[in-house]
């Protein structure tokens, strides 16, 4: 019997809903988790390698659940890199309670624990499953999502829309945008092709809103 992805997602969303930082705004993990799950499915369709699809998709649902243990501004700032280890513990506990086999659980836990150990950050042998999860985690924040997230941030932090647009202009002219910085952190060629497509998509949207704020009133 395959995993009940919907039930697992509901469990995870309930945990996020109990937090102050991870259920709305730019850190809405209920939305971001869904996007990582769907992006994993996109990459799975593009791979020719033999993979354990159910392990990847289950790990996608749980990959950031450790952030529920970092629900203060101080912890978010100082302990961000600990969330995969917290996530591994939470994932193991939930999956065992739901009756999944030890073998299945430990494979999922491994992906959750190492999902942030990316190329350039940690030297390690990566399975095809880990490569897909890591890439989906980055790709899910590109394209339309990378266009929307700054405005969610603006709303949560009470920044004016025009100020937010000007901030995006500055960061894009300075370093080419956060999405482009992430290209070298991707594992798979198929992921890099998707990333380029998504970056162009977000650039088109940004250029449209840049034009909307052009006025003699703010020059």
| Domain positions in the chain | 1-122, 141-219
Confidence of residue 111 (pLDDT cuts 50, 70, 90): very high
| pLDDT (tens digit per residue) in 7-23 | 999 999 999 999 999 99
Tokens read off for 111? 């992906």
Rounded average pLDDT over 148-168:
82
pLDDT tens-place string over residues 42-95: 999 999 999 999 999 999 999 999 999 999 999 999 999 999 999 999 999 999
Q: Which position has the token pair 């280890």?
A: 85
Q: Using an 8 Å Cβ cutoff, are 14 and 70 in contact? A: no
Q: Which residues of 45-60 are buried (b: 16+ CB within 10 A; e: fewer)?
A: eebeeebbeebbbbbb
């Amino acid at each position: 019997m395959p995993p009940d992805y919907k039930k697992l997602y509901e469990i995870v969303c309930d945990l996020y809903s109990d937090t102050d930082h991870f259920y709305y705004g730019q850190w809405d993990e209920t939305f971001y988790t869904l996007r990582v799950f769907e992006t994993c499915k996109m990459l799975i369709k593009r791979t020719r390698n033999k993979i354990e699809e159910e392990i990847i998709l289950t790990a996608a649902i749980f990959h950031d659940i450790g952030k529920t243990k970092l629900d203060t501004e101080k912890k978010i700032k100082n302990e961000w890199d600990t969330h995969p280890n917290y996530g591994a513990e939470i994932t193991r506990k939930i999956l065992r309670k739901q009756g999944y086999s030890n073998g299945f659980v430990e494979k999922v836990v491994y992906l959750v624990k190492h999902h942030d150990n990316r190329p350039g950050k940690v030297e390690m042998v990566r399975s095809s499953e880990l490569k897909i999860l890591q890439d989906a985690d980055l790709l899910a924040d590109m394209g339309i999502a990378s266009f929307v997230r700054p405005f969610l941030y603006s709303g949560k932090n009470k920044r004016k829309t025009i100020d937010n647009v000007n901030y995006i202009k500055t960061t894009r002219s300075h370093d080419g945008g956060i999405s482009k910085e992430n290209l070298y952190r991707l594992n798979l060629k198929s992921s890099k092709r998707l990333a380029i497509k998504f970056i162009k998509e977000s650039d088109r949207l940004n250029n449209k809103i840049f034009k909307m704020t052009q006025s003699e009133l703010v020059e």
